[in-house]
């Protein structure tokens, strides 16, 4: 492995623009060079603090003039052209919008003092995320296999454990969007599914708070939204949607089966009804 790390690579590392191999090389270097490691930590913190400082400025209501211009511009550019699904480059922006739009959650994001009951906070966040994006969803679209694979890779990295994006096709739902979002316990993923009738379901997957543990599936009610939440040892999961309880429970159970860690000799890709395994490739195009 190449151990020569230059200054620029440290910055590319900070900004997440290195591929797997170079990232590992930088990390090995940082372990040997505490001074560089301290700088990198500070740089990462700078990025985070800038988002904290200015995130809200993008999320407060637009001025009337901006609103008018936005609508006109939208018509001129043609909504159909904005087929921007999940992309690494836009993930940060989406997270910022989301963080600010969630209001109270912003405080939770950066507050390590876990006075809030984590399970209920996770359900709250899941409900808000679902409401926010469900109201924005208007046209059917496809979440391509490439985008899903990319999201999956990112999610595995963030959670530190391989996770399979749930396949809900047997319930008539296909994945139409996915995005990574900051939560009080780390980065979580919102996976949005839609059925032919246009109904939306969110599967919200986050890191299990405070180490591996489990909790059985249970229903939760948040305003007009029903949720089912559970902990499967590695991940905290909430399934949200404006469906009746029984139907949502069926979907939650399907998601739970999909998400379960594979038992030895029973790899999920061997089971029927699951999509083929994603190729273990990493996006190196942005380094």
Partner 1 sequence: MLQPALEDHIAALRRYARALLGDRIEAEDLVQDCLARALSRAHLWRPGSDLRAWLFTILHNIHVNNVRSRHARLASVDASEGRSWRGMSAPPDQDTRLELRDLERALDRIPEEQRQVLLLVGMEGMSYDEAARIVGVPIGTIMSRVARGREALRRYMMHPGQEVEDDLEPAAAVAGRGAVRHLRRVK
106 near partner 1 (CB under 8 A): yes
CB contact set of 191 (below 8 Å; sequence gap of 6+): 165, 166, 175, 177, 178, 202, 203, 204, 205
Report the 10 Å Cβ neighbour count for 146: 12
Q: Is 83 in the site for partner 1 (CB under 8 A)?
A: yes
The correct pick among 21, 24, 62, 221 for binding partner 1 (CB under 8 A) is 62
What's the closest the beta carbon of residue 215 comes to partner 1, in angstroms? Answer: 27
Q: Which residues contact 46 (CB under 8 A, 6 or more apart)?
A: none
> Which residue, among 244, 256, 261, has the nearest Cα to 216 in the 3D structure?
256
| 33 touches partner 1 (CB under 8 A) | no
Sign of the torsion formed by the C-alpha atoms of 188, 103, 238 and 115: positive
Site string for partner 1, 132-171 (x = CB under 8 A): -x--xxxx-x------------------------------
Which of 262, 201, 253 is CA-nearest to residue 229?
253
Segment interacting with partner 1 (CB under 8 A) among 64-72, 202-210, 245-253, 262-270: 64-72
Among 84, 197, 216, 263, the residue binding partner 1 under the rule CB under 8 A is: 84
For residue 271, state whether it binds partner 1 (rule: CB under 8 A). no
The residue (of 202 and 229) whose beta carbon lies closer to partner 1 is: 202
Q: Given the DSSP bridges, would you call strands 174-183 and 214-222 parallel, antiparallel or unpaired?
A: unpaired
Distance between CA atoms of 32 and 30, rounded to whole angstroms?
Answer: 5
> How far from 209 is each of 117, 215, 225, 253, 279, CA to CA, in Å?
11, 12, 23, 21, 29
Note whether 11 binds partner 1 by CB under 8 A: yes
State the residues that interact with partner 1 by CB under 8 A.
Answer: 7-8, 11-12, 14-17, 39, 42-43, 46-47, 49-59, 62-63, 65-66, 69-70, 72-74, 76-85, 88-94, 96-97, 99-100, 106-107, 110-111, 113, 133, 136-139, 141, 176-177, 179, 192, 286
């Amino acid at each position: 492995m190449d151990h020569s790390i230059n200054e620029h690579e440290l910055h590319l590392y900070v900004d997440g623009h290195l591929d797997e191999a170079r990232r590992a090389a930088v990390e090995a270097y940082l372990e040997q060079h505490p001074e560089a490691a301290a700088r990198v930590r500070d740089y990462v913190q700078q990025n985070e603090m800038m988002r904290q400082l200015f995130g809200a400025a993008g999320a407060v209501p637009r001025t009337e003039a901006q609103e008018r211009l936005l609508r006109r511009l939208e018509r001129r550019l043609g909504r159909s052209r904005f087929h921007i699904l999940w992309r690494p480059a836009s993930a940060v922006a989406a997270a910022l919008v989301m963080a600010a739009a969630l209001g109270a959650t912003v405080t939770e994001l950066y507050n390590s003092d876990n006075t809030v009951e984590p399970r209920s906070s996770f359900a709250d966040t899941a409900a808000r995320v679902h409401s926010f994006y469900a109201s924005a969803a208007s046209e059917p679209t496809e979440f391509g296999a490439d985008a899903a694979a990319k999201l999956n890779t990112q999610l595995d990295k963030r959670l530190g454990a391989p996770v399979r994006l749930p396949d809900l096709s047997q319930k008539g739902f296909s994945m139409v969007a996915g995005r990574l979002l900051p939560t009080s316990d780390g980065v979580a993923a919102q996976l949005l599914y839609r059925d032919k009738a246009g109904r939306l379901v969110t599967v919200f997957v986050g890191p299990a708070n405070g180490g591996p543990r489990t909790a059985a599936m249970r229903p939760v009610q948040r305003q007009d939204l029903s949720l089912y939440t559970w902990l499967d040892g590695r991940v905290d999961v909430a399934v949200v949607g404006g469906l009746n309880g029984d139907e949502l429970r069926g979907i939650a159970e399907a998601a739970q089966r999909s998400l379960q860690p594979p038992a030895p000799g029973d790899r999920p890709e061997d089971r029927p009804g699951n999509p083929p395994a994603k190729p273990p490739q990493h996006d190196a195009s942005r380094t």
